[in-house]
């Protein structure tokens, strides 16, 4: 029998065997509810976690991979210094692109403070070079040392002071969310296991009657396990769907652009809420099966 | 088919059974008496392997119960019909489903459909077929327990005080049922305090009466 | 009997009555575990919520209450324009303080772009006035209109474009956290109620025996209710303590200063984790009592 | 102390009891017989207000059971000792705690300490005092149920098939206990199928034997 045939037989069940197990009432509802609530929370938290992860990535990438070189020099020495700096940057491994800011760009940047028509060209403003590192990154300290030697007027600013707290905060949120997710799934597993135990304990007499009329262990276990697995799956599926709906309904913040993205799932992230009910089902299967076989072994 | 060889048993404290031997052969009919608490139910439990002896061996259908694996045990139970002293049913199934339970569990439902109807008639439970066990009277439960024990026409029937709650006429009907089964070659063992019942059975078939006292199994006097 | 005497009698319990109720095994552990897990999550989420609330407040206050007036004018007209602007601001209700930035302050602000020694005094840089509103706020549109009439060179910037997405994101997080908190408490209540029902259903025979030997309803109910209430409280207390410890152990981010504060509780916020076990206890009391009395009324 | 006046009862279907009248007065001793399923247990349940009649009235200690509030009902139950056909115990309490349960529940523990020891002796359960109910034999459970029913020396004792699982000597001891109580002025009602038991009781005290059949309650013939 292939795995899928086995799975199908399990899901389809044996109506006769099923009936021998009493409708376990509150225990089963407890499981359904716990599965729904925990999965809902898990979906919620994983949406949060994924969003935070995206934000953290954005910040890490955008801010950490971009840095600025500011070169102060006499107007006549400026061009040479810029050229020297570009040469240093060109020979630094790990740099993806280098761009000298035009005066117009600098003016746009400064407009809020200087007003629209400041004659920057008349001022001896420093030259600015945007540096974007590639995936491998480069050695900031080494670059600083070389620049100090070859381009004395260069000040290298890798935005660390701006970036660090933001990235750290995002990382913190992300760890917190992941921790919460692990806790929620753990709590779900524990609750399903305990509820299954409670249901089995409440049905000790049923199990004993079944054993005494010649039922085999697998026959008895299967009916319980199937019920708990399917109910848990159903509960978790409801929880996941409701969770996805609520996440979708959360106020989206498209205007914030690259800085904060809307809470929700993107791309492969959708796997998470879809997978959760199956995870819950597997947890329920394992927990109930272990509990049932343990209880059965205690009976003659 | 079931053999006890020099069996001793204790629940941890004093010995309940000491050096008991008994052989339930096809076509044998035993009664087991003895004061309350003597160990009759314990002896029955050893026979259907709900307990294993502290000393000696119990063999059911040639296999030793102490070393049987759980699946073999389940299959063995299908060949032994037991009426328990506290008749336990599945309260969420109707009476007829409960009586059918051994067949359901063995996957043989249907094969014995006529059996069920006849049996329910014989034990006087035709009208109660669709009731649930908690709404049955004490005697009705006992009769149902007997019906469940024999529905699969097992090779051995072990009945623990099967008539404690039924009236005299019904007791006789139940004994007649057991005698019929006995004549078909089944081995029967009945625990009872009811001496009238034993006398009635003796009139219908050759039976042996055993008495359990002080942990020993003895043959009862000829007065029974 | 006063409330506290009653409470004490309840907590102290009646050892004899207590014994008549069987140790309900898995059902009770289920309750303890569910209470602990849910309270832990609640503490966690409320820490997150409170932190977000603080951040949102900080951003709203610091950013929204400060705005900037930039005045562009010929050097000789500048002083008059600034004076005119100050007069307008002075007569605008809802403004707490007004300060004209010195050139040195402006230079410090611009240093990263212009280098350390730009002769701002030689440039015709716009004058900057920091405006801080008071609690009541003021009418930005009205101010803009008056400035347009009286100080034509003034550009009023209330930082809205910077602030809005940040505040909105914080608000979003806050709503999400509050929602999660409500859900968690609701789930806790439902689980305790269902577990209590399951335990009572499993003990239907015990209840019936007690009724038959002449036990009164309150006698039976009390033993169950007390057990579930105290276990729930204990579970929730453990969850709350562990939650507080974990929150305290989370990486704190003191360097980020005013922008992002560390996740955790401050001041009155500590009431939340302390109060949660009591809330859980009250929920358990109500749920178990209702379930017990309902079940008892079904028995003769 | 308990009076049934023109009581009819049905569980929804056919009438189990029709127009039954019965009065349990102080010092009265009744036996109730009848075929299995006749409604004996049902009649007892009406007496201790586990059921209320569909017609007629049942009065316990002057109060009508149908309109009793639940607390009064609980207090009434303390004055009525019942041996149930399926002896139910609290499986997590020892036998002596179980027998003491009516006292525990009434808050009277201690007042009857000597009672407990004497009673356990009389019903032959001294050695089983610390066992838990699931490990008792069928007869031991029945004796324990009787002990629990009488521990508080209630005004009325209702016993449903109290000797179905005990041997003849023990049955006589139990009857003697009931006769003693009867002589102290308690009202006793015993359901049984065991005619020998009735004969034995008749030798010790004046008893009335009732027979339930077809929903009607009739006095049994003089042969009993
Ligand atoms: N699980 C157990 N643990 C300890 N003692 C037990 C257990 N089961 C039974 N006993 C004790 O063993 C003795 C024999 O019990 P058993 O049920 O075999 O008696 P019995 O002959 O069937 O009596 P009865 O006629 O009253 O049913 C009793 O005294 C009983 O208390
Ligand atoms: N809750 C119930 N619902 C429906 N029918 C019931 C219920 N309880 C009992 N009955 C039916 O009422 C009839 C009388 O039951 P009762 O228990 O009073 O009989 P009984 O005289 O005590 O019999 P026994 O001697 O076998 O104990 C039986 O046929 C039984 O099936
Ligand atoms: Mg027995
Ligand atoms: Mg009855």
Q: What is the ipTM of this complex?
A: 0.81
Chain B positions touching D164 (Cβ under 8 A) are 138, 161, 164-165
**Distance of alpha carbon C72 from alpha carbon C78, whole angstroms:** 7
List strand residue ranges (DSSP E) for chain C, in order: 66-71, 95-100, 127-133, 154-157
Q: Of the candidates D92, D101, D107, which has its C-beta nearest C213's C-beta?
A: D101
Q: Say whether residue B102 is in contact with chain A using an 8 A CB cutoff.
A: yes
In this predicted structure, what is the pLDDT of residue A160? 61
In this predicted structure, what is the pLDDT of residue C260? 47
* Parts of chain D with a pLDDT under 50: none
Chain B positions touching D45 (Cβ under 8 A) are none
Residue C6 above 50 pLDDT?
A: yes
Task: Specify the residue with its C-alpha closest to ligand 1, atom 8.
Answer: D135
Candidates C28, C206, C214: best to mutate against D (most CBs of D within 10 A) is C214
In this predicted structure, what is the pLDDT of residue D106? 87
Instruction: Please say whether the beta carbons of B215 and B39 come within 8 A.
Output: yes
Distance from residue D197's CA to the centre of ligand 2 (Å): 23
Instruction: Please say whether the beta carbons of C45 and C39 come within 8 A.
Output: no
Chain A positions touching B58 (Cβ under 8 A) are none
D137 C-beta closer than 6 A to ligand 1: yes
Give the least confident one: A214-223, C259-268, D118-127.
Answer: C259-268
Residue C60 above 70 pLDDT?
A: no
Q: How confident is the model at residue A254 (pLDDT cuts 50, 70, 90)?
A: very low
In this predicted structure, what is the pLDDT of residue B22? 93
Query: DSSP string spanning A239-299?
Result: HHHHHHHHHHHSPP-GGGTTSSPPSS--GGGGHHHHHHHHHHHHHHHHHHHHHHHHHHHT-
**Distance of alpha carbon C42 from alpha carbon C20, whole angstroms:** 35
Q: Say whether residue C105 is in contact with chain A using an 8 A CB cutoff.
A: no
Find the angle CA(A287)-CA(A292)-CA(A294) to the nearest 5 degrees.
95
Three-class SS state of C259: coil
In this predicted structure, what is the pLDDT of residue B149? 92
Contact assignment for A198 to C26 by CB distance below 8 Å? yes
In this predicted structure, what is the pLDDT of residue C30? 78
* Parts of chain B with a pLDDT under 50: none
D139 C-beta closer than 6 A to ligand 1: yes
Q: How confident is the model at residue C79 (pLDDT cuts 50, 70, 90)?
A: confident
Q: Name the closest ligand to CA B128.
A: 2
Instruction: Please say whether the beta carbons of A40 and A247 come within 8 A.
Output: no
B53 C-beta closer than 6 A to ligand 1: no
Mean pLDDT of chain C: 77
Q: Say whether residue C191 is in contact with chain A using an 8 A CB cutoff.
A: yes
Contact assignment for A214 to B71 by CB distance below 8 Å? no
Chain B positions touching D138 (Cβ under 8 A) are 36, 41, 85-86, 160-161, 164
Candidates D36, D39, D84: best to mutate against B (most CBs of B within 10 A) is D36
D85 C-beta closer than 6 A to ligand 2: yes
Distance from residue B46's CA to the centre of ligand 1 (Å): 13
Residue C177 above 80 pLDDT?
A: no
Q: How many Cβ atoms are within 10 Å of C134's Cβ, its own excluded? A: 12
Query: DSSP string spanning C228-254?
Result: HHHHHHHHHHHHHHHHHHHHHHSPP-G
- The pocket of ion ligand 3, defined by CB under 5 A, consists of B 40-41, 85; D 137-138
Task: Specify the residue with its C-alpha closest to ligand 1, atom 17.
Answer: D137
- Top pLDDT among C44 and B33 is at B33
- Classify burial at C48, counting beta carbons within 10 Å of its beta carbon; exposed 0-12, middle 13-18, buried 19 or more: buried
Q: Of the candidates D33, D137, D193, which has its C-beta nearest B36's C-beta?
A: D137
Taking the CA of residue D85 as reference, the ligand 2 atom at the shortest distance is 27
Q: Of the candidates C109, C116, C172, which has its C-beta nearest A113's C-beta?
A: C109
Closest CA in chain C for residue A164: C256
Distance from residue B199's CA to the centre of ligand 3 (Å): 21
With b meaning 16 or more CB within 10 Å and e meaning fewer, what string describes A169-198? bbbbbbebbeebbebbbebbbbbbbbbbbb
Taking the CA of residue B136 as reference, the ligand 2 atom at the shortest distance is 31
B41 C-beta closer than 6 A to ligand 1: yes
Contact assignment for D36 to B161 by CB distance below 8 Å? no
Taking the CA of residue D12 as reference, the ligand 2 atom at the shortest distance is 4
pTM of the model: 0.79
**Distance of alpha carbon B68 from alpha carbon C190, whole angstroms:** 46
**Distance of alpha carbon B108 from alpha carbon A232, whole angstroms:** 32
Those residues with Cβ within 8 angstroms of residue C170's Cβ, 6 or more apart along the chain or in another chain: C52, C53, C55, C56, C59
**Distance of alpha carbon C15 from alpha carbon C11, whole angstroms:** 11
Task: Tell me which DSSP letter residue C143 carries.
Answer: H
B137 C-beta closer than 6 A to ligand 2: yes
In this predicted structure, what is the pLDDT of residue C226? 86
Q: Name the closest ligand to CA D14.
A: 2
Task: Tell me which DSSP letter residue A60 carries.
Answer: I
- Give C21 to chain D, closest Cα distance, Å: 8
Residue A262 above 70 pLDDT?
A: no
Average pLDDT over residues C180-195: 80
In this predicted structure, what is the pLDDT of residue C258? 39
- Give C6 to chain A, closest Cα distance, Å: 31
Q: Of the candidates A209, A211, A216, which has its C-beta nearest B89's C-beta?
A: A209
In this predicted structure, what is the pLDDT of residue C250? 67
Closest CA in chain C for residue A55: C169
Find the angle CA(C192)-CA(C196)-CA(C200) to the nearest 5 degrees.
175
Three-class SS state of C158: coil
Give the least confident one: A69-83, B24-38, B64-78, C244-258.
Answer: C244-258
In this predicted structure, what is the pLDDT of residue C164? 63
- Top pLDDT among C61 and C109 is at C109
Contact assignment for D71 to C216 by CB distance below 8 Å? yes
Q: Of the candidates A17, A206, A211, which has its C-beta nearest B90's C-beta?
A: A206
Q: Do chains D and A touch (3 or more CB pairs under 8 A)?
A: no
Instruction: Please say whether the beta carbons of B207 and B183 come within 8 A.
Output: no
Q: Which of residues 158-177 of D touch C (CB under 8 A)?
A: none
Which of the residue ranges A6-15, A188-197, C56-65, C107-116 has the most confident prediction, judged by mean pLDDT? A188-197
In this predicted structure, what is the pLDDT of residue C189? 80
Q: Name the closest ligand to CA B36.
A: 1
Task: Specify the residue with its C-alpha closest to ligand 1, atom 6.
Answer: D135
Taking the CA of residue D39 as reference, the ligand 2 atom at the shortest distance is 18
Distance from residue B50's CA to the centre of ligand 4 (Å): 29
User: Chains meeting A at 3+ CB pairs closer than 8 A?
Assistant: B, C
Mean pLDDT of chain A: 77
Contact assignment for C195 to A30 by CB distance below 8 Å? yes
Distance from residue B163's CA to the centre of ligand 3 (Å): 13
Residue A169 above 60 pLDDT?
A: yes
Distance from residue D37's CA to the centre of ligand 2 (Å): 5
């Amino acid at each position: 029998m292939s795995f899928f045939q086995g799975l199908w037989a399990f899901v389809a069940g044996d109506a006769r065997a099923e009936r021998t197990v009493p409708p376990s009432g509150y225990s089963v509802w407890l499981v359904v509810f716990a599965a729904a609530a925990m999965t809902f929370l898990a979906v919620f938290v994983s949406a949060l976690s994924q969003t935070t992860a995206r934000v953290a990535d954005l910040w890490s990438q955008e801010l950490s991979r971009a840095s600025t070189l500011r070169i102060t020099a006499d107007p006549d020495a400026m061009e040479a210094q810029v050229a020297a700096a570009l040469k240093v940057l060109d020979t630094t491994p790990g740099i993806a692109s280098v761009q000298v800011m035009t005066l117009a760009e600098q003016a746009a940047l400064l407009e809020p403070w200087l007003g629209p028509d400041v004659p920057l060209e008349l001022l001896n403003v420093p030259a600015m070079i945007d540096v974007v590192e590639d995936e491998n990154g480069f050695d900031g300290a080494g670059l600083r040392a070389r620049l100090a030697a070859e381009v004395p007027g260069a000040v290298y600013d890798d935005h660390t002071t701006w970036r660090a707290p933001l990235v750290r905060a995002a990382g913190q949120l992300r760890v917190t969310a992941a921790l919460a997710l692990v806790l929620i799934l753990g709590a779900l597993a524990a609750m399903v296991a305990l509820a299954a135990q409670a249901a089995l304990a409440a049905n000790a007499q049923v199990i004993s009657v079944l054993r005494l009329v010649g039922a085999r262990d697998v026959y008895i276990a299967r009916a319980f396990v199937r019920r708990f697995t399917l109910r848990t799956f159903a509960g978790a599926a409801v929880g996941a769907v409701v969770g996805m709906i609520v996440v979708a309904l959360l106020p989206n913040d498209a205007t914030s652009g690259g800085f904060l993205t809307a809470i929700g799932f993107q791309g492969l992230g959708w796997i998470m809420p879809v997978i959760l009910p199956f995870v819950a089902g597997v947890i329920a299967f394992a927990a109930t099966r272990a509990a049932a076989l343990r209880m059965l072994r205690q009976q003659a | 088919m079931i053999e006890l060889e020099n069996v001793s048993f204790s629940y941890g404290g004093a010995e309940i059974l000491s050096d008991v031997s008994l052989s339930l052969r096809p076509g044998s009919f035993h009664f087991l008496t003895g004061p309350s608490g003597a160990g009759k139910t314990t002896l029955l439990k050893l026979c259907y392997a709900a307990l294993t002896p502290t000393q000696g061996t119990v063999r059911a259908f040639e296999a030793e119960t102490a070393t049987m694996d759980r699946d073999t045990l389940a299959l063995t139970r299908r060949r032994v019909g037991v009426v328990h002293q506290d008749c336990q049913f599945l309260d969420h199934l109707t009476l007829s489903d409960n009586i059918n339970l051994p067949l359901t569990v063995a996957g043989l439902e249907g094969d014995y459909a006529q059996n069920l109807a006849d049996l329910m008639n014989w034990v006087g439970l035709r009208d109660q077929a669709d009731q649930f066990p908690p709404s049955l009277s004490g005697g009705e439960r006992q009769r149902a327990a007997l019906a469940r024990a024999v529905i699969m026409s097992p090779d051995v029937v072990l009945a623990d005080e099967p008539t404690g709650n039924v009236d005299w006429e019904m007791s006789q009907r139940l004994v007649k049922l057991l005698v019929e089964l006995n004549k078909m070659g089944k081995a029967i063992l009945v625990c009872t305090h009811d001496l009238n019942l034993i006398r009635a059975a003796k009139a219908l078939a050759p039976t042996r009466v055993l008495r359990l006292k002080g942990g020993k199994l003895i043959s009862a006097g000829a007065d029974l």
